[in-house]
């Protein structure tokens, strides 16, 4: 059976497509929520365990190194056994992660939690995009990618509110136990709706010569895509991990206001992705949309890095950066789809999106050193430069993609 046999026909009912998109979106939101399981508690860990920014950055590096290596391998498993088993396993791991996080008593325990969370995070992009590409009708695929990115940002936006409220009402350990229960409920829902998540393992087309499973790695466009994700997500890691501390240090913003700014950034990003879905469905050159989006975000971040805007305006501009970057999200996914051979969907998505994990792993380690030295403006400027370089990578993808 060919991979495309399960592709949804163009006449598929909207309700069927919407159900699949919603389930995959929920799974994606849960993975983005997990990205912030540790960073949101950084001030608590510094106070209770006496940790430095560099040590905290190493936690996230561990998370994303494990996730990146696992993601590249998960792509091969998705092509071999299908996406659904890996999705269930990942959500189950998050249940264990949150339970373990509620019991940690030092840095070693946090490192174990970070590694286990990275393993859970590893499968989501090859799993999600394999399901969407196989089960959603082609005319609605651009909107599916928009919803996928939108739910991811909503997962990011929900996490700060979730932990802030539960930690203030009870304790940070109770907040982690509540997160474990949330993941268990998500897992049960996905299991009950498992028929909608069925995918077929990839098999080569009978008219095409058999290729080695690693042959896709010879394609230059794969590495341009990898570079794009590495560079663009280094910026995202700075905002997620250090924006609260930067706003407090540069402008004396309260932790509550800075945390709300981070949530506003994520919500603006979600709004940008929603708008970007309509852009992606109509744009002929996805790479140009991505380049304009990332370039605009880089300019806004560079303005924030100067420190000249003052606290209130900096928070507003930082939030609007999320909107600018978000517009390019669905076009980014369309750009990757155009560069992906049909017989290697899981493998290519796994390898390309491991660039995301690589960037998220390197960024906290590098910029954690900047933060320890008090280079707060330079941290934001470095994030802006990384985003600007991702524009060049997007153009490189466009030039190497067959229409």
**pLDDT greater than 80 at residue 370:** yes
In this predicted structure, which of 190-204, 318-332, 371-385 has the lowest mean pLDDT? Answer: 190-204
Is 183 inside a domain boundary? Answer: yes
- How high is the pLDDT of residue 172? 92
The band of 378, judged by pLDDT with boundaries at 50, 70 and 90, is very high
121: exposed, middle or buried (C-beta count within 10 Å: 0-12, 13-18, 19+)?
buried
Residue 212 CA to its chain's centroid (Å): 29
Q: How many residues does the chain have?
A: 403
Q: Distance between CA atoms of 322 and 171, rounded to whole angstroms? A: 30
In this predicted structure, which of 60-69, 200-209, 339-348 has the lowest mean pLDDT? Answer: 200-209
Q: Distance between CA atoms of 384 and 368, rounded to whole angstroms? A: 16
Whose structure tokens read 């949330």?
Answer: 182
- How high is the pLDDT of residue 248? 85
Is 286 inside a domain boundary? Answer: yes
Is 209 inside a domain boundary? Answer: no
- What mean pLDDT comes out for the span 74-82? 80
pLDDT tens-digit map of 229-260: 889 888 888 887 788 888 888 988 887 788 88
- How high is the pLDDT of residue 33? 93
More confident residue, 368 or 306: 306
| CA–CA–CA angle 313, 315, 319 (5° rounding) | 115
Q: Distance between CA atoms of 145 and 351, rounded to whole angstroms? A: 18
- How high is the pLDDT of residue 35? 87
Q: Of all residues in the chain, what percent carry a pLDDT higher than 70?
A: 89
* Mean pLDDT, rounded, of the chain: 83
Show the tokens assigned to 26.
């929920």
Secondary structure of 150-181 as H, E, C letters: HHHHHHHHHHHHHHHHHHHHCCHHHHHHHHHH
159, 40 Cβ separation under 8 angstroms: yes
- Cα–Cα separations (whole angstroms), residue 277 to 1, 199, 345: 31, 24, 21
The band of 1, judged by pLDDT with boundaries at 50, 70 and 90, is very low
pLDDT tens-digit map of 21-57: 999 999 999 999 998 899 888 888 988 998 887 788 7
- How high is the pLDDT of residue 9? 46
Is 91 inside a domain boundary? Answer: yes
Show the tokens assigned to 180.
């474990």
pLDDT tens-digit map of 174-219: 999 999 999 999 999 999 998 888 887 655 555 555 455 565 566 7
Cα dihedral 402, 151, 93, 37, rounded to 10, equals: 120
Is 155 inside a domain boundary? Answer: yes
pLDDT tens-digit map of 84-143: 899 999 999 999 999 999 999 999 999 999 999 999 998 888 888 889 888 888 778 878
- How high is the pLDDT of residue 61? 80
The runs of H, that is alpha helices, within 36-121 are 42-49, 53-81, 84-101, 107-121
- What mean pLDDT comes out for the span 164-183? 93
Q: Distance between CA atoms of 186 and 117, rounded to whole angstroms? A: 16
More confident residue, 264 or 401: 264
- How high is the pLDDT of residue 83? 85
CATH no. for residue 255? 1.20.1250.20
- What mean pLDDT comes out for the span 368-396? 89
More confident residue, 72 or 185: 185
Range of the domain at 262: 13-195+216-398
Is 385 inside a domain boundary? Answer: yes
DSSP assigned state of 194: G
More confident residue, 2 or 211: 211
60, 360 Cβ separation under 8 angstroms: yes
Q: Count of CB atoms within 10 A of residue 185's CB? A: 11
Show the tokens assigned to 173.
């350990």
Q: Distance between CA atoms of 378 and 12, rounded to whole angstroms? A: 51
The band of 344, judged by pLDDT with boundaries at 50, 70 and 90, is low
The band of 328, judged by pLDDT with boundaries at 50, 70 and 90, is confident
The band of 365, judged by pLDDT with boundaries at 50, 70 and 90, is confident
Is 304 inside a domain boundary? Answer: yes
Q: Distance between CA atoms of 110 and 391, rounded to whole angstroms? A: 35
- The total number of structural domains in the chain stands at 1
Is 142 inside a domain boundary? Answer: yes
pLDDT tens-digit map of 286-312: 788 888 999 999 999 999 999 889 888
């Amino acid at each position: 059976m060919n991979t495309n046999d399960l592709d949804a026909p163009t006449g598929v009912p909207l309700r069927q497509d919407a159900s699949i998109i919603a389930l995959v979106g929920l799974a994606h939101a849960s993975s983005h929520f997990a990205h912030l399981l540790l960073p949101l508690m950084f001030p608590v860990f510094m106070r209770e365990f006496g940790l430095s920014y560099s040590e905290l950055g190493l936690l996230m590096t561990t998370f994303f190194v494990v996730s990146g290596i696992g993601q590249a391998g998960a792509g091969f498993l998705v092509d071999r056994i299908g996406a659904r088993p890996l999705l269930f396993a990942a959500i189950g791991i998050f249940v264990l992660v949150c339970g373990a996080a509620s019991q940690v008593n030092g840095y070693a325990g946090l490192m174990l939690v970070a590694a286990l969370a990275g393993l859970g995070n590893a499968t989501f992009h090859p799993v999600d995009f394999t399901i969407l590409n196989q089960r959603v009708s082609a005319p609605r695929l651009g909107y599916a990618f928009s919803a996928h990115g939108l739910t991811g940002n909503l997962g990011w936006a929900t996490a700060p509110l979730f932990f802030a409220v539960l930690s203030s009402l009870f304790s940070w350990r109770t907040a982690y136990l509540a997160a474990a229960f949330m993941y268990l409920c998500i897992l049960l829902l996905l299991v009950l709706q498992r028929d909608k998540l069925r995918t077929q393992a990839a098999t080569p087309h009978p008219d095409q010569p058999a290729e080695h499973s690693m042959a896709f790695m010879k394609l230059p466009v794969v590495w341009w895509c990898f570079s794009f994700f590495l560079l663009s997500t280094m910026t995202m890691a700075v905002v997620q991990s250090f924006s609260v501390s930067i706003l407090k240090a540069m402008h004396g913003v309260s932790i509550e206001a800075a945390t709300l700014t981070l949530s506003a950034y994520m919500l603006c990003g979600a709004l940008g992705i929603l708008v970007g879905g309509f852009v992606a469905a109509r744009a002929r050159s996805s790479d140009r949309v991505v380049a304009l989006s990332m370039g605009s975000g880089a300019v806004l971040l560079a303005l924030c890095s100067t420190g000249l805007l003052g606290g209130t305006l900096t928070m507003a501009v930082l939030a609007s950066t999320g909107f600018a970057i978000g517009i390019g999200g669905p076009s980014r996914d369309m750009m990757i789809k155009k560069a992906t051979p049909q017989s290697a969907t899981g493998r290519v998505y796994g390898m390309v999106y491991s660039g995301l994990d690589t960037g998220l792993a390197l960024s906290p380690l590098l910029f954690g050193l900047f933060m320890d030295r008090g280079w707060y403006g330079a941290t934001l400027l470095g994030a802006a430069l990384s985003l600007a370089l991702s524009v060049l990578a997007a153009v490189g993808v466009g030039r190497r993609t067959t229409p």
